[in-house]
């Protein structure tokens, strides 16, 4: 049987594709065997090659289920298996369409006369379609699921430096290009390597750039000394702790600063998302306690709390300053669907009333910008999963952020891989934006990343602790920030063009057969 035959779907294609999907989880943090992401992508692509659209979509669906279910098992930790399965299946449907398009485009391009650039063109095309499919997955529907990206597996690899140039989506594109280029070269054998010269030289050149380039991370607009406090609070959505417990945990953890050698140098203190379970805007005791902390250390405090405005509820970051009380507020712009709010609630409630009923309140979408001004310096603030959303990082940089504070609450996910996967995205976001990023969690992973992705401080998970570091402020625009929106548009337009070409080829082929 030819290796390009459409036969053998059950015999070898499904097992190969599913194996590729499962291997992706070992490439992701915390297992972090990052070279396996290339093996994963290669196996999935091998399982698709030579198939027609619907057959490839069939194989791609099961590969996608394995891809997602193996990576995001943490979604079942508190809600059980149904949300885990449902999310994986929904994402696998998008994965399946992408697989079908890849197979169709690949078949179309293989029909063309072989030339010196054919190998590079195929690698370029498949990388484009894969990246466009990934864009759809992380944006659609309801804002998408900005997780399980090929680039996420490479956060701790030397290839992460490429994010400085091409962004997180760009690293996915390059990684798939490398995979296809090497896959084609290996299969063609040493005698035909010249046919793959362009793709192999391009791959070698970009890998050399990643290995040799030093991402700039030094101060450009001064420095600030940040104290980030991890309170070890079980601040999950379904926690039943006594009211005031989360706030008390962070007040007590902040006292660790009293003996810190940099106490007198601190410019501001940051607590994580949901650090206060009492809203100081309406709870006088919480306001008194927070004001007392601010006055004690004589520096501003930035912390997470749930706030209300009329009938709307917000997941907010509040900014308190000595002698002034609250001076600013950021409300999360992108609440997580089916966790922080339920879109089309009536429809989904009719399908799964028990699950939807667990999300008793829905957070409104914030409209304020994420910039807090501190002594003429601009602090960029985002909340939890927003670190995974490309547009949020771009907006902060565009609005003038010189450092990014990523406040998060990972308590709902226990000791699972979720918090490590999120930290991986935070590291990539620091490199992409060219900004120091302080990732502070209620329970961890809490780390401080410089703009080159290096870790300058971190805390053990599920322990109270503080990180105090003097950190560089940066104002320059990375190439990734400059090209980001245009790159996404170009990838999607090119992918649609490739699909149009493949459909046109199929229609012409059918027409010729009907005329014979």
pLDDT in tens, 34-90: 999 999 999 999 999 999 999 999 999 999 999 999 999 999 887 789 889 999 999
* 189, 48: one domain: yes
Please indicate, yes or no, if residue 310 is contained in any of the structural domains: yes
Please indicate, yes or no, if residue 2 is contained in any of the structural domains: no
Q: What percent of the chain has pLDDT over 70?
A: 96
* 283, 327: one domain: yes
Please indicate, yes or no, if residue 4 is contained in any of the structural domains: no
Please indicate, yes or no, if residue 515 is contained in any of the structural domains: no
Which pTM value belongs to this model? Answer: 0.95
Please indicate, yes or no, if residue 187 is contained in any of the structural domains: yes
* 366, 448: one domain: yes
As given in the structure block, the two tokens for residue 469 are 């570091």
* 310, 198: one domain: no
Contact in structure between 318 and 309 (CB atoms under 8 Å): no
* 503, 441: one domain: no
From the list 152, 149, 105, the residue with the least C-alpha distance to 128 is 105
Element (H, E) at 420: helix 418-433
pLDDT value of position 191: 65
Please indicate, yes or no, if residue 108 is contained in any of the structural domains: yes
Residue 1 confidence (pLDDT) above 90: no
As given in the structure block, the two tokens for residue 183 are 């896959």
Please indicate, yes or no, if residue 231 is contained in any of the structural domains: yes
* 188, 324: one domain: no
* 486, 461: one domain: no
pLDDT value of position 4: 45
Please indicate, yes or no, if residue 61 is contained in any of the structural domains: yes
Whether the bond into 30 is cis, omega within 30 of 0: yes
As given in the structure block, the two tokens for residue 432 are 């992409």
Range of the domain at 458: 223-340+349-475
* 450, 497: one domain: no
- Mean confidence (pLDDT) of the chain: 94
Give 3's pLDDT tier (boundaries 50, 70, 90).
very low
* 333, 442: one domain: yes
E strand segments, 245-383? 268-270, 301-309, 312-321, 325-331, 371-374, 377-383
* 446, 382: one domain: yes
How many folded domains does the chain comprise? 2
């Amino acid at each position: 049987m030819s290796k390009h035959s459409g036969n053998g779907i059950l015999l070898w294609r499904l097992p190969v594709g599913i194996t590729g999907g499962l291997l992706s989880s070992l490439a992701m943090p915390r297992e972090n065997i990052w070279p396996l992401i290339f093996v994963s992508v290669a196996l999935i692509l091998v399982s698709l090659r030579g198939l027609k659209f619907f057959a490839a979509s069939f194989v791609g669906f099961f590969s996608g289920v394995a891809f997602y279910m193996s990576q995001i098992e943490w979604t079942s930790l508190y809600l059980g298996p149904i949300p885990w399965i449902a999310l994986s299946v929904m994402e696998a449907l998008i994965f399946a369409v992408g697989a079908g398009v890849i197979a169709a485009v690949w078949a179309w391009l293989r029909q063309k006369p072989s030339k010196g650039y054919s190998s590079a063109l195929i690698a370029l095309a498949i990388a484009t379609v894969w990246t466009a499919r990934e864009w759809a997955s992380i944006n659609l529907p309801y804002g998408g699921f900005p997780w399980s990206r090929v680039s996420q597996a490479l956060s701790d690899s030397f290839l992460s430096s490429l994010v400085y140039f091409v962004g997180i989506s760009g690293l996915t594109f390059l990684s798939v290009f490398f995979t296809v280029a090497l896959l084609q070269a290996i299969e063609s054998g040493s005698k035909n390597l010249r046919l793959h010269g362009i793709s192999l030289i391009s791959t070698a050149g970009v890998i050399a750039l990643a290995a040799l380039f030093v991402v700039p991370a030094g101060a450009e607009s001064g420095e600030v000394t940040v104290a980030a406090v991890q309170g070890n609070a079980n601040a999950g959505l379904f926690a039943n702790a006594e009211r005031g417990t989360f706030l008390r945990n962070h007040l007590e953890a902040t006292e660790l600063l009293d003996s810190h050698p940099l106490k007198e140098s601190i410019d501001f203190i940051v607590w994580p998302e949901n650090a206060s379970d009492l809203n100081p805007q309406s709870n006088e005791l919480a306001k008194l306690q927070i004001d007392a902390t601010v006055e004690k250390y004589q520096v501003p405090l930035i912390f997470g709390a749930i706030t209300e405005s009329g009938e709307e509820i917000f997941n907010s970051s509040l900014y308190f300053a000595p002698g002034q009380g609250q001076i600013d507020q950021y409300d999360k712009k992108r609440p997580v669907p089916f966790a922080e709010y339920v879109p089309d609630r009536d429809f989904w409630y009719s399908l799964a009333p028990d699950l939807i009923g667990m999300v008793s309140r829905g957070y409104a979408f914030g409209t304020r910008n994420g910039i807090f001004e501190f002594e003429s310096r601009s602090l960029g603030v985002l909340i939890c999963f927003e670190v995974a959303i490309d547009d949020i990082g771009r907006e902060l940089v565009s609005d003038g952020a010189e450092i990014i504070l990523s406040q998060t609450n990972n308590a709902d996910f226990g000791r699972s891989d979720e918090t490590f996967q999120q930290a991986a995205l935070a590291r990539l976001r620091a490199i992409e934006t060219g900004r120091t990023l302080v990732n502070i969690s209620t329970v961890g992973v809490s780390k401080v990343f410089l703009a080159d992705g290096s870790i300058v401080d971190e805390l053990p998970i599920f322990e109270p602790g503080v990180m105090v570091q003097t950190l560089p402020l940066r104002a320059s625009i990375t190439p990734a920030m400059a090209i980001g929106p245009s790159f996404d548009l170009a990838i999607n337009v090119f992918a649609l063009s490739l699909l149009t070409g493949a459909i046109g080829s199929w229609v012409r082929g059918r027409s010729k057969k009907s005329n014979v």
